[in-house]
Amino acid sequence: MSIKFYTTDWCGDCVRSKALLNKLNVDFEEINVDINSEANDYITKLQKNQRRIPTIVFSDDSFLVEPNDLELHSKLKELGIV
């Protein structure tokens, strides 16, 4: 399962979501949208001209935007990752 985690250095919600993924030993690719303009354009398009982070994209092309821990954990369970 491939997870792309779109983040920035200043995002508190990103830190929280990343901590949960690490706690659950979930592998993910972290992509900083402040550094990677293509990633920034991608999440802006994905969110219909919004730029909210964290944005977490799963290999089935589903995604979560600014999920709380319960939403993220539920999605990981739904996909059979945890």
Q: For position 17, what pLDDT does the model report?
A: 98
Which tokens sit at 42? 């991608």
Q: Which CATH number fits domain 3-78: 3.40.30.10, 3.40.50.150, 3.40.50.1370, 3.30.470.10?
A: 3.40.30.10
Q: How far is CA 47 from CA 19, 20, 50, 55, 66, in A?
A: 24, 23, 5, 9, 12
User: Does position 1 have pLDDT exceeding 90, yes or no?
Assistant: no
- Contact 61/38 with Cβ under 8 angstroms? no
Question: How confident is the model at residue 7, as a pLDDT?
Answer: 97
0.85 exceeded by pTM: yes
Q: Where are the domains of the chain?
A: 3-78
Mean pLDDT taken over the chain: 96
